[in-house]
Chain A
Amino acid sequence: MGLSKLPEPELGHNAAGDLVSVEPKGGDGWITTRLDFLVNWGRSNSLWPMPFGTACCAIEFMATAASKFDLARFGMERMSFSPRQSDVLICAGRVPFKLAPVIRRIWQQMPQPKWAISMGACASTGGMFDNYAVVQGIDTIIPVDVYVPGCPPRPEGLIYGIMMLQKKIMTERMSNKSLRDEMEPDPSSQLYIPANRIDELSEPFGNSVHQTRSAP
């Protein structure tokens, strides 16, 4: 029996997972490959965040941005309070239904390329707020790239999520046009994923299965 074959390392990484410069391969256009790497390197190290802080996660986000954890190390010191000059939407906190059209509008105003980080349990799943007022995960409103678990996540957690997003950006290819596809909500319902999937995603779990939906 021979040794099992090692998995092919990701583009831009060696077998140990470290970033390396990408050598041209047979099938790849030489210039495109190099430009991909350069553009991705530039984008991933100068992400301008659009903070969408609604709850306690925003406090941890502020701590992340402040001097001790220092988001500036990742080229993210420039908080963009206008969606038109930002690259990554960081939703920190629960989103009530009243804010759903607002975060949708902010996402649509952000220019491509853009990414979204869902920070904390409430933004990702609704968290403990399985009630009439809170959206059960912002991925039912906008597409999300990285989910950061925690209630709230510590700054290290958010930084780990940001580094995951940077890794994801490094693997993007210019030849893949679908990466820059704009979300197209259904004009009749304004939903961008099917209604039955939203219901499925928002099913109660944990203690909340004991609650009743219909009136007694």
Chain B
Amino acid sequence: MSKFEIMKPGFGGSPEPVTPKNVPNRGGEANPSAAALKAQFAGAVLRSDVVNGETTVLVETANVFDIVKWLHDDAAQSYEYLSDVTAVEHRDFSQPIEVVWHLRSIKFRRFIRIKTQLKKGAKLEVQSVWPIYKGADWLERECYDMFGITFAGHYDLRRILMWEQYKEGFPLRKDFPLRGRFSRSEQLRQALDANPEAKYSMEELTVADAFEELPLDMRARIKAGEKTGE
């Protein structure tokens, strides 16, 4: 049976999910979602290939959001789970940077990899999938932190691994020297300059700052002069 058929106990002749064996390095059975994508977004799908049994679809940057949304929403695709957002920069400087999304359909036991290419020299920007998958929040922040790729539409795109005042650039870019751009003493000086008790995010500052987010009755009580305990 095809591994892309729904595999539930008693369905498709197999009592249990089966680990595919002897998977070819190139070629092999493609995820049917790739063909469906080609039919749905004719101009936007540039290429699709199968490596080690995993299907990769290269798409136009402008259409990423629509494609991911369709894969998520369409009942025949049903990619409920975003397992990774990351980027690849090749050692060859003329090659564009690739942004990669790993999508998984738990319902159909399918995996698909969406890739898009961002030309170097222009602004590295791609549409955020955060409105579709809330789990993309930290994945996109990490990708921004390490590669400097801007995800348009992300509600809170800032550094996540490096501290917010980090000035040396984006560490996983190929033009970034392994030890960083500054001398060790300068790096240490800037690191020690940070306040370890600073608020982790601007949202945590005070009740007064979060006033607009509070429920109406609480707002009325604070307006009436009730102390907030701070």
Contact = CB atoms under 8 A, between A and B. Distances in A.
Contacts of B189: 189-191, 195
A199 B178 contact: no
Contacts, number: 81
Contacts of A195: 183, 185-186, 189
A65 B192 CA distance: 31
Contacts of B201: none
A190 to B, nearest CB: 4
A100 interface: yes
B190 to A, nearest CB: 8
Contacts of B193: 101, 190
A215 interface: yes
Nearest to B195: A101
Name the residue in A97, A135, A213 with the highest tally of chain B Cβ atoms < 10 Å from its Cβ: A97
Nearest to B197: A105
Interface of B, secondary structure class, is loop
A202 B205 CA distance: 37
Given A98-B162, A105-B196, A199-B183, A132 B178 contact: yes
Interface stretch (B104-112, B147-155, B168-176): B168-176
Nearest to A215: B175
Interface string B191-216: 11111100000000000000000000
B163 interface: yes
Contacts of B192: 100-101, 104, 141, 185, 189-191
Interface of A, secondary structure class, is loop
A198 interface: yes
B223 interface: no
B178 A216 contact: no
Given A191-B189, A198-B188, A131 B179 contact: yes
A139 to B, nearest CB: 11
Given A132-B168, A132-B171, A190-B193, A100 B179 contact: no
A102 B178 contact: no
A196 interface: yes
Given A102-B196, A132-B168, A191 B188 contact: yes
B68 to A, nearest CB: 31
Interface residue tally on A, bucketed by range: 20 to 34
A194 to B, nearest CB: 8
B184 interface: yes
Interface in A121-158: 130-133, 135-136, 140-141
B188 A100 contact: yes
A53 interface: no
A204 B177 CA distance: 13
Contacts of A215: 175-177, 181
Contact of A132 (B180, B188, B194, B195): B180
Contacts of B190: 97
Contacts of B86: none
Interface string B103-138: 000000000000000000000000000000000000
Given A105-B196, A215-B181, A140 B188 contact: yes
B179 A198 contact: no
A196 B195 contact: no
A191 B185 contact: yes
B187 interface: yes
B176 A101 contact: no
16 contacts: A97-B163, A98-B194, A101-B192, A102-B196, A130-B178, A131-B180, A132-B176, A140-B188, A141-B188, A189-B192, A191-B189, A199-B184, A202-B184, A214-B177, A215-B175, A215-B181
Interface of A: 97-98, 100-102, 104-105, 130-133, 135-136, 140-141, 185, 189-191, 195-196, 198-199, 201-202, 204, 211-216
